[in-house]
Amino acid sequence: SIASADMDLNQLEAFLTAQTKKQGGITSDQAAVIAKFWKNHRVKIHESLINQSRWDNALKNMNWRVDLKSQSRHIDQINTPVAIVEMELGKNGQ
């Protein structure tokens, strides 16, 4: 729960306090250890979760534009917007 919510220190304290008050929950010593661990390793854990949830490819670059038709055989097709999107994908870390 702590990692998936990427809790800040205030949220962490409130969460751990609630866990210590629950019947069958954690002790205050356990809460202190969890808090210390989270404070020291939060960035690593968050990056690991992000890397695990990504697909193999990542978006490297994106270009887009909107074109309008200025000439057409049929008048109702003039000024019809067309979006053109170009996406460049690449492997993570490359």
Instruction: Tell me the range of 25-34, 42-51, 60-69, 85-94 where mean pLDDT is highest.
Output: 25-34
Do 45 and 22 lie in a common domain?
A: yes
Residue 55 is encoded by which pair of tokens? 């697909």
Residue 82 lies in a domain: yes
Number of domains composing the chain: 2
Whether residues 26 and 44 fall in one domain: yes
Q: What is the pTM of this model?
A: 0.54
Same domain membership, residue 49 and residue 62:
no
* Of 52, 38, 53, nearest in space to 8 by CA: 38
What pLDDT digit, counting tens, does each position of 37-74 carry? Answer: 999 999 999 888 887 777 677 788 899 999 887 777 77
Q: Domain of 65? A: 58-90
The Cα 62–Cα 83 span in angstroms is 13
Cβ–Cβ under 8 Å, residues 42 and 9: no
Does residue 18 sit in the same domain as residue 33? yes
Q: Are the CB atoms for 34 and 16 separated by under 8 Å?
A: yes
**Does residue 44 sit in the same domain as residue 75?**
no
Q: Does residue 41 share a domain with residue 14?
A: yes
Q: Is residue 19 a part of any domain in this protein?
A: yes
Q: Are residues 35 and 22 in the same domain?
A: yes
Q: Do 49 and 62 fall into the same domain?
A: no
In a domain, 4, yes or no: no
